Amino acid sequence: MSVPTTINAVLLKNAPTGEVQFDYSAKDATFELSSKPFSESDLKDGFVLVKNLYFSNDPAQRGWIAAGQDASRGYADPVKEGDAIRSSGFGEIVASKSSKYSVGDKVLALLTWSDYQPLHEAAVFQKVDESEGVTAPVYLSALGYTAFTAYFGLKDILQLKEGQTIVVSAAAGATGSMVVQLAKHVFKAGKVIGLAGSDEKSRWIESLGADVGINYNDADYKEQLDKAIGPDCTDAYFDNVGGDMLSFLLTKVKKFGRVAACGAIAGYNDKSKLNVTTWTQIITNSLTVQGFVIFNYVQRFPEAIEVILGGISKGTIKVENTYHIEDLSKEEKPLAKVPEVWSLLFGSNKPNGKLITKIA
């Protein structure tokens, strides 16, 4: 691979106040494409140039680009208008002025939506070796942030014990599908109940190990959930959704039960959908609700990797089920379509597991 003469990127043009405007030609376009000249001499000491190969698509990115954020209260800085959209991903080093990394190294890093990325060596998360069964997409799914989120959410936040009941929302998503697999096969939960957006997804999470998958688009999904949980209520709820679903689940967690506050995809376009109406359940049933972000656990990633690799080698965690790749590498302008692929996260046609964009 050679060093490019231009770097192309997708920038934040207008931080969205409501829905994201994907149309580049619209007056209120959320994104714009940029192209800037580059030469190897631009690379400073200690930096590497990464050719970006895969992007991780994450709901959290929606928060990073939202208008009117209080920078002091987020767990990651907002993306400013004019800056490239941040995205974790996988790439290959094509130029290096770092003593730590060499041309040809494959790395995981916090990248941006761009074709090439100058990056300080300290910003590289880790160098990885692809091997049979543990390829680049696996590093972004079963061994990626969302998988670690599932692991620490179960172990530290929910403190899930063998035989317990757990409910997880957005169970066919990147985090949720790992919650299902880890809860059942590693933490030995007694009953795993997953909420997903279609009958097909519900069957799919059952194939991963959920005892019951429920389609939250069914009109009677709360009755189905109530029945699946049973009169003893659930020990734990892993919440990726927020709002009305969370408000209902708070009434179904047993006394001294635990709630992992992990995501809030119900409100990425409309925060009013995140209102919680059943807070007093936390009081009367002595619940513990704990919020967390995966960056709290960076020092313990090796622990998560070891556990997950163990599940993969035993065959209980099926890596082929943990991701879906949208391949843009054959497109004339792959970068231009990156936002559209990302938008699948928020739509009704969301693929199962981790959504990964291949751009080269």
- Report the interface residues with a second copy, using CB under 8 A: 63, 70, 72-75, 231, 242, 246, 251, 255, 261-264, 267, 271-272, 274-277, 279-293, 296
- Rounded CA-CA distance 148/48 in Å is 26
Q: With respect to a second copy, which residue has the nearer C-beta, 4 or 74?
A: 74
Chain centroid to Cα 116, Å, comes to 22
Which residues have CB under 8 Å from 75's CB, separation 6+?
Answer: 293, 295
Query: Least CB distance from residue 128 to a second copy, whole Å?
Result: 27
Query: Least CB distance from residue 99 to a second copy, whole Å?
Result: 34
Q: With respect to a second copy, which residue has the nearer C-beta, 39 or 275?
A: 275
- Rounded CA-CA distance 49/312 in Å is 32
Q: With respect to a second copy, which residue has the nearer C-beta, 215 or 247?
A: 247
Beta bridge partners of 234: 253
Residue 339 in contact with residue 203, Cβ under 8 Å?
no
Q: With respect to a second copy, which residue has the nearer C-beta, 102 or 275?
A: 275
Query: Least CB distance from residue 345 to a second copy, whole Å?
Result: 17
Q: In what helix (H) or strand (E) does residue 182 lie, and over which residues does it extend?
A: helix 174-185
- Three-state SS at 175: helix
Residue 322 in contact with residue 178, Cβ under 8 Å?
yes
Query: Least CB distance from residue 233 to a second copy, whole Å?
Result: 8
Q: With respect to a second copy, which residue has the nearer C-beta, 231 or 302?
A: 231
Residue 55 in contact with residue 111, Cβ under 8 Å?
yes
Q: With respect to a second copy, which residue has the nearer C-beta, 159 or 215?
A: 159
Q: In what helix (H) or strand (E) does residue 288 lie, and over which residues does it extend?
A: strand 288-291
Residue 215 in contact with residue 221, Cβ under 8 Å?
yes
Angle at 169 between CA 167 and CA 174, to 5 degrees: 120
Query: Least CB distance from residue 65 to a second copy, whole Å?
Result: 14
Query: Least CB distance from residue 117 to a second copy, whole Å?
Result: 26
Q: With respect to a second copy, which residue has the nearer C-beta, 32 or 156?
A: 156
Phi, psi of 338 (to 5 degrees): -60, -45
Q: With respect to a second copy, which residue has the nearer C-beta, 153 or 311?
A: 153
Query: Least CB distance from residue 255 to a second copy, whole Å?
Result: 8
Query: Least CB distance from residue 250 to a second copy, whole Å?
Result: 10
Is 234 exposed, middle or buried, given 0-12, 13-18 or 19+ CB atoms closer than 10 A? Answer: buried
Phi, psi of 246 (to 5 degrees): -60, -45
